[in-house]
Amino acid sequence: MPADAATANPLTHRSEFASGLRPRRHRHLLRHVLNLEDFERMVEHRLPRAVFGYVSGGAEAGVTYQHNREVFAQWRFITRILRDVSRRSTATTLFGRTYAAPFAIAPMGASAVVGYDADNRMARAAMDANIPFILSANSITPLEELAQTNPHAWFAAYQKPAAENIQAMCERVAAAGYDVFMLTVDVPVGSNRENNIRTGYTMPLRPTPRLALDGLSHPRWLAGTGLRTVLKRGVPAISNIDPTQRPTIFSRTLGGVTGHAAFAWEQAELIRRHWKGRFVLKGILSKEDARIARESGVDGIVVSNHGGRQLDGSVSPMDVLSEIRAETGDMTVFADSGFRRGTDVLKALALGAHCVLIGRPFLFAAALAGEAGVEHAIKLLSREIDTDMALLGVSAVDQVDASVLR
């Protein structure tokens, strides 16, 4: 990275290697990681097949999952030259706060089952790098604990439709100090994830000889994540799905934890009335829904197909981003699903997004090398965006618009 880029994109690191493994070990692992996709390749055989399959897979035949990566090839850049890009900056402003780069760590359920204390490790790395981190309601890390780790974190909810539950959940999240409430809206029912069945992953978790053998054949994960998590937290519980209930990962009540078919715009508007902070809807693919969100007083939307994990055959956010942006008015627009490269991020910005959410690679980074792995992932993507901006001929993210694409 050139000296001027380092000046333009300061990343403050609390410690070079903070995740618990020896620094030499971290350096050995991370020197082989040159981009975000490398993390998945390196961690695949270190995780139980059921755990890796849960994170890496999509719904049904994986058509949407594959399309999410392939869609970026539809656009090419038109570069500009002799523009003096020596003072470029990747900084972006979201909800009144300036962040170092236009990407965030997306909410991911069960992260701490994949990598030890992964929610806290990703949250610390995000805070040190000054990018947003979003905690999932399906995490086993209590939202109050995470807020102590990263006071600037956001919260992503799977909300029950009952009015009293909505009010109580809003009060709990506000009391913990969160400013952004992100409601996941694209899961009225659980999807058909055949890959989970094939690899032995279920929720609620059902102990079987096959699952036990899977764990025993991965002793590094078993000792470093599974047993350490039980020693720290006891039987893991889904901590943030409800104002008071904490069902364990073995509880039969988990069957409907994400899907609430009765949830409608009426309930979303009720959250808007109770929630005094920024309110974001995650999972929009329709310009009509974007318009309704704007008219309902929503502050932001995430154009998302849930990483290909819900309706197989759905469009990519990139397919509809520009037409949705035309309906959003003053709302902040995010996009997710399939982003891996700096050029992917810049293409989304050019089509109207203000920021991109990225999930799987950061979780794989935490599973591979803890907080140091996440720090490395953030630096890799930040450097790509910075280099790509210079080559494109722009000095600020708000200069990236439709004119740079063909």
Binding residues for FMN: 107-109, 136, 158, 184, 282, 304, 336-340, 359-360
Number of C-alpha atoms within 13 angstroms, CB side, residue 307? 20
From the centroid of its chain, how far is CA 110?
Answer: 12
Tell me, what DSSP letter sits at residue 189?
A: S
Q: Report the C-alpha gap between 169 and 264 in whole angstroms.
A: 17
Helix, strand or coil for residue 315? coil
Q: Give the strand pairing for 97-99 and 92-94.
A: antiparallel
**H-type alpha helices, 108-185:** 111-114, 118-129, 143-149, 163-175
Residue 161: burial class (beta carbons within 10 Å; 0-12, 13-18, 19+): middle
Q: Report the C-alpha gap between 148 and 244 in whole angstroms.
A: 19
DSSP codes joined into one string, 79-108: ---S---TT-B--EEETTEEESSSEEEPP-
From the centroid of its chain, how far is CA 140?
Answer: 16
Tokens standing for residue 68:
């999410």
Helix, strand or coil for residue 359? coil
Rg (CA), the chain: 20
The binding site for glyoxylate consists of 54, 193, 306, 309
Q: Which of 26, 152, 306, 354 is catalytic?
A: 306
Going by C-alpha positions, the residue among 104, 140, 138 that lies closest to residue 122 is: 104
Q: Report the C-alpha gap between 280 and 301 in whole angstroms.
A: 5
Please say if 306 is a catalytic residue: yes
Name the residues annotated as catalytic: 306
